[in-house]
């Protein structure tokens, strides 16, 4: 059954809420190599039914890297962190990034500290091999008041400090609302970028989600050079589903986004993580879709 991205993220955030020194040299070394991976949300139904079999097919396509979107009750797709790491290793896969929603429930105001549930999320990310812990959502009640929003974004910076202690980096991933939401005359996405320290908080630009809300990836790369360490690689076509401001994802190179131009500029701007995500398939199976996207990316020089 299809689960909307919004519903999935809200459920994931609630699930998490219920439950070495940072090396600059090490992190710089990671950035020296381009990473081409796939967001496993692209094949979410397959991962739910048969995670091991799906990972085997992903590996057989030629992928070496995956990104998760399923961390519930201290498990990745039903696996304990160490077990999922071994499962990935057995298939020749690595998972350097993953999506786990950080919300207000993960900060204990009385203790002035993160909750144990969030500390476990960071700890488990380290065990499974992540370099980035990425939050892909911002609650609606935080999108109304500048002062409250900035207080929450300061927790993003504190998250960066927390992740650095385990040799990782905290990150944020956009959807569409960041581009059509204005707070005190300022675009929400601009406030997010202005209020987060790039040394502590990485930005993962989803080049497709923003399109229907007026966001343009080429303009953002020029406006904020060097800010986007990771990209979600997508193309978009008009849609009646209404999930992303009237657009849905499609096969790379067939929609309205100048994907190849975006990727070329992103490389020049320092982006090293390129994660394919396709959430709608226009009749293709999800596995066939990400296989074709991988071939297109390889033909583009990745």
The pLDDT of residue 242 is 83
Residues 145, 146, 151, 154: is their CA dihedral positive or negative? positive
Residues of the chain above pLDDT 70, percent:
89
Are the beta carbons of 71 and 12 closer than 8 angstroms? yes
Residue 80: both structure tokens together: 């304990």
The mean pLDDT of the chain is 92
Q: Write the CB contacts of 175 (distance below 8 Å, at least 6 apart in sequence).
A: 5, 6, 136, 137, 206, 209, 210, 244
The pLDDT of residue 26 is 38
Residues of the chain above pLDDT 90, percent:
88
**What CATH number labels 5-231+258-276+291-299?**
3.20.20.150
The pLDDT of residue 13 is 53
Under DSSP, the state recorded for 188 is H
**pLDDT band for position 244 (50/70/90)?**
very high
What's the residue count for the chain? 302
15 has pLDDT over 60: no
| Burial (CB count within 10 angstroms: exposed 0-12, middle 13-18, buried 19+), residue 35 | buried
The pLDDT of residue 4 is 54
18 has pLDDT over 80: no
**pLDDT band for position 243 (50/70/90)?**
confident
Residue 194: both structure tokens together: 């202005």
189 has pLDDT over 70: yes
2 has pLDDT over 80: no
Render pLDDT for 130-184 as a digit per residue (tens, 0 to 9): 999 999 999 999 999 999 999 999 999 999 999 999 999 999 999 999 999 999 9
Are the beta carbons of 12 and 101 closer than 8 angstroms? yes
Phi-psi region of 56 (alpha: psi -120 to 50; beta: other; left: phi over 0): alpha
10 has pLDDT over 80: no
71 has pLDDT over 50: yes
Higher pLDDT, 9 or 86: 86
Residues 43, 44, 49, 55: is their CA dihedral positive or negative? positive
Average pLDDT over residues 66-79: 98
190 has pLDDT over 50: yes
Q: Is 136 in a helix, a strand, or coil?
A: coil
* Nearest one of 44, 21, 180, 157 to 99, comparing CA atoms: 44
Render pLDDT for 245-277 as a digit per residue (tens, 0 to 9): 999 999 999 999 999 999 999 999 999 999 999
Q: Where are the domains of the chain?
A: 5-231+258-276+291-299
The pLDDT of residue 130 is 98
296 has pLDDT over 90: yes
**pLDDT band for position 33 (50/70/90)?**
confident
25 has pLDDT over 90: no
**pLDDT band for position 23 (50/70/90)?**
very low
d(CA 240, CA 231): 25
The pLDDT of residue 156 is 98
Q: Write the CB contacts of 151 (distance below 8 Å, at least 6 apart in sequence).
A: none
The pLDDT of residue 213 is 98
Average pLDDT over residues 78-100: 98
Neighbours of 32 (CB within 10 A): 7
Write down the H helix ranges in the chain: 5-17, 24-31, 44-49, 51-61, 81-90, 116-128, 146-164, 177-180, 188-195, 217-223, 259-268, 286-299
17 has pLDDT over 70: no
């Amino acid at each position: 059954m299809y689960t909307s991205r919004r519903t999935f993220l809200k459920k994931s955030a609630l699930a998490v809420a219920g439950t070495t020194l940072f090396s600059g040299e090490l992190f710089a070394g990671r950035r020296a190599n381009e990473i081409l991976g796939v967001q496993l949300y692209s094949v979410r139904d397959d991962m739910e039914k048969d995670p091991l079999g799906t990972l085997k097919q992903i590996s057989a396509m030629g992928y070496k890297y995956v990104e998760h979107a399923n961390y519930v009750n201290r498990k990745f797709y039903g696996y304990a962190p160490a077990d999922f790491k071994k499962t990935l290793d057995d298939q020749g896969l690595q998972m350097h990034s993953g999506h786990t929603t950080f919300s207000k429930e993960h900060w204990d105001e009385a203790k002035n500290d993160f909750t144990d549930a969030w500390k476990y999320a960071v700890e488990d990310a380290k065990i499974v091999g992540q370099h980035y812990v990425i939050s892909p959502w911002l609650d609606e009640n935080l999108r109304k008041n500048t002062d409250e929003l900035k207080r929450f974004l300061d927790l993003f910076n504190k998250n960066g400090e927390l992740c650095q202690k385990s040799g990782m980096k905290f990150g944020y991933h956009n959807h569409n609302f960041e581009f059509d939401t204005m707070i005190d005359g300022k675009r929400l996405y601009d406030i997010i970028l202005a209020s987060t320290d790039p040394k502590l908080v990485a930005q993962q630009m989803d080049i497709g989600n923003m399109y229907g809300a007026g966001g343009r990836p080429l303009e953002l790369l020029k406006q904020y050079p060097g800010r986007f360490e990771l990209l979600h690689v997508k193309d978009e076509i008009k849609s009646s589903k209404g999930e992303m401001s009237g657009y849905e994802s499609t096969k790379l190179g067939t929609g309205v986004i100048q994907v190849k131009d975006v990727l070329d500029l992103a490389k020049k701007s320092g982006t090293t993580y390129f994660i394919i995500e396709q959430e709608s398939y226009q009749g293709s199976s999800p596995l066939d879709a990400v296989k074709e996207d991988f071939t297109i990316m390889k033909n583009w020089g990745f």
